[in-house]
Chains A and B, each alone.
Chain A
């Protein structure tokens, strides 16, 4: 006998354990007696910790007071956040003059403005935008932060940076709205989009020259008061040092890694020696060498800017670590890729830039971001050599006479700040990984 149904059987409802909260609890937390006991123990531990933190840090805490004694008078067991609040400018900006803080904020905003096109859809030439961020933005920001008289080199770089920023932003706006690039649009406006290539190129060059002239005139009238580097500090200094370290680590690391894998013996030996020398020495030793020993070898009276010494040391150090990460990525690329690149006639740089590096970098993202996060945290070592970065400032709160002994609250606050910054970085790296490995998904 054959039963034929013309209608498909309606699907059964999902079991309760899959749809309701109680079902989920039963399945995941209380499936056996042992699991139930473990769940209860964990819940109890969480309850005790959270309750303790809550009572100390929020319920009994003091938010407004003029010194620690007053905190004690109000609540002897609670946290005294008033000290952290009063020191907040020191923690974020260090000793930067309080009337000039807008310069630091503006510098941060400009960076966001500069890098925003990298994340926008339909914007072209992202590699150029990325490169200009690394090579031009530091000069603009550097002058903004330090101020003073501009040397000719600085004038040129600031002009280039200003023009580039304006072009970048216009390019991004046009890109988002129309999907075209800035040069195309300019030519279209001028009615030259059908003209021969040479005319187009010349028109663009003229426009560029005009923009540079305007930029140069603008920057001549722009001067800022000098803020010596010794006044830089707090989170700002941490970000400056680690930011430059991060920005130079990747290019430096790629060059060193390629050097180490090179077939030319001199380059290979030198790269290897350089990498191994820096990697076998702790960062704090490199910092001490750079700031304390280095001036001993120099003629008396020759005092280099300590911040520059630190930045150079951090950059070299991180480039060496990055070189090994890059080398690991390069080794993951099968030999066939190199040979295939050669067979289609690519030379060394074409092979590396177009075939090998893009694949290798994708493999390296977790490690690269890992070393960036490590670098950000290692930067706090500069507090030992007398720069007041965020850690130096957090530790100084407990020595300021009105807030003497207040050390848990500032450090806890610093931990939260670092957690936020580092987890944003690692979230972004996860996002990049997913985006770039779309092709590898099954």
Chain B
């Protein structure tokens, strides 16, 4: 009897879900967010550079800055924001079930994820790639020297698969030592438990900076995988997709145009460059299609600065930065040999 009741209620619930899902198409994510009064933005468990808690319990990091930028674009204030920290196992479910409005975390943009998980990646805000780190005194200077080496790697990530691919491709016969926890992996590596350590290069740089003697270790030049990291939204709400995508573009565009958090007020009042005037809402009607206010881009830059400033603060040499050089990397502006490029604001 109990079973039948359970089954009946389950069916009812499922039916309600379907009804709810179709009915909900009417309300756009933007309307839901405005109605609620704050943005729900999903990040992951604290990870240096991208999203972190400080000693006062506040969030900071480059992906948190994206969350703040979207909140500023909608509400004019970066504080109308709830940061949700979700483990990677349920990250896409938490976006799909409506718990989060936006996923701004180190999720690599891949074809399968883009097409099969019901989500859309917007615009890349960080180009990462997997690399290796070795102790300097090992004499290894290239990843191709790692023949027969034991390599420390985190389990359950694409990192592990990339390592296996790389080893097979170059006949290196690498034996992986897998870990669940970054700190344990780092300790093992430091105590000589493996010849090299592999991770995304941002992670390697951040781990290295935290070692007792960072100068004793070397990140090898090879990058063995492509990890474009981009904020993602639920599939099917194009307006919301546009808002998040163009928020990222505003950050890059502002840097291209030389607009910073410090000079944005001055620029809005005095700039003569038509692109600057359009992006800051002095002339033109760029905001209309997005459903935002005229000063949306101004609010973004005022709240978090431009892409370069965000990078410097959390990824680069800022006080809370993890010290990854930007010059010459894929994350530099296209005018400086990188891949950061914003479509025109017109």
Interface of A with B (CB < 8 Å)?
68, 72, 76, 86-87, 89-90, 94-96, 98, 228, 230-231, 233, 266, 269-270, 273, 288, 292-293, 295-303, 306, 384-386, 388, 392-393, 395-396, 398-402, 404-405, 407
Q: Is the CB of A299 within 8 A of B1?
A: no
**Can you report 26 residue pairs joining A to B where beta carbons are below 8 Å apart?**
A76-B212, A89-B55, A90-B53, A98-B56, A98-B57, A273-B2, A295-B99, A297-B17, A298-B17, A299-B17, A299-B24, A300-B21, A300-B23, A302-B98, A303-B99, A386-B84, A386-B86, A386-B87, A395-B46, A399-B48, A400-B52, A400-B54, A401-B48, A401-B321, A401-B322, A407-B183
Residues of B contacting A296 in the complex (Cβ-Cβ under 8 angstroms) = 17, 93, 96-97
Q: How far is the CB of B257 from chain A (nearest CB, A)?
A: 29
Is there contact, CB below 8 Å, between A230 and B84?
yes
The 4 closest A-B pairs by CB, nearest first: A299-B20, A300-B24, A95-B57, A405-B210
> Considering only CB atoms, which chain A residue lies closest to B82 in the complex?
A230
CB distance from B319 to the nearest CB of A (A): 8
Residues of A within 8 A of B182 (CB): 398
Complex contact A299–B322 (CB within 8 A) = no
Among B57, B58, B99, B212, find the residue whose CB has the most chain A CB atoms closer than 10 A.
B57
| Cα(A98)–Cα(B52), bound, Å | 18
Enumerate chain A residues within 8 angstroms of B162, measured Cβ to Cβ: none
- Whether the Cβ atoms of B55 and A301 lie closer than 8 Å is no
A400 contacts B46, C-beta separation under 8 Å? yes
Determine which of A95, A300, A384 lies in contact with B53 in the assembled complex, contact meaning CB atoms within 8 Å.
Answer: A95
- CB of B32 within 8 Å of the partner chain: yes
- Chain B contacts with A in 179-203, Cβ cutoff 8 A: 182-183, 186
Q: Which residue in B16, B90, B321 is a CB contact (below 8 Å) of A288?
A: B90
A414 to chain B, nearest CB (A): 14
Distance (Å) between the CB of B70 and the closest chain A CB? Answer: 18
B98 contacts A72, CB within 8 Å? no
Contacts A96-B57, A297-B17, A300-B20; A399 near B47 (Cβ below 8 A) = yes
Q: Does B345 contact A (CB under 8 A)?
A: no
Q: Which of B51-86 contact A (CB under 8 A)?
A: 52-58, 82, 84-86
Query: Distance in Å from the Cβ of A186 to the closest Cβ of chain B?
Result: 47
Q: How far is the CA of A250 from the CA of B80 in the complex (A)?
A: 41
B57 lies within 8 A of A89 (CB) = yes
Find chain B residues with CB under 8 A from A407 CB. Answer: 183
* Also in contact, A292 and B48, with CB within 8 A (given A68-B210, A302-B20, A386-B85): no
Q: Which of B47, B52, B98, B210 contacts A303 (CB 8 A)?
A: B98
In the complex the two chains form, is B53's CB within 8 Å of A297's CB? no
Q: Indicate with 1 or 0, residue by residue over B146-171, a CB within 8 angstroms of chain A CB atoms.
A: 00000000000000000000000000
B13 part of interface (Cβ distance < 8 Å) = yes
Q: Of the candidates A292, A299, A396, A398, which one forms a contact with B23 in the assembled complex, judged by CB atoms under 8 Å apart? A: A299
B52: chain A residues at CB < 8 Å are: 396, 399-401
Would you call B206 an interface residue if the criterion is a C-beta within 8 Å of the partner chain's C-beta atoms? yes
- Is the pair A301, B48 in contact by a Cβ cutoff of 8 Å? no
Contact A388 B54 (CB under 8 A): no
Q: Which residues of A contact B99 (CB under 8 A)?
A: 292, 295, 303, 306
Q: How far is the CA of A3 from the CA of B251 in the complex (A)?
A: 113
Chain B residues with Cβ below 8 Å from A299 are 16-17, 19-21, 23-24
CB-CB under 8 A from B20, the residues of chain A are 298-300, 302
Q: Which residues of A contact B1 (CB under 8 A)?
A: 266, 269
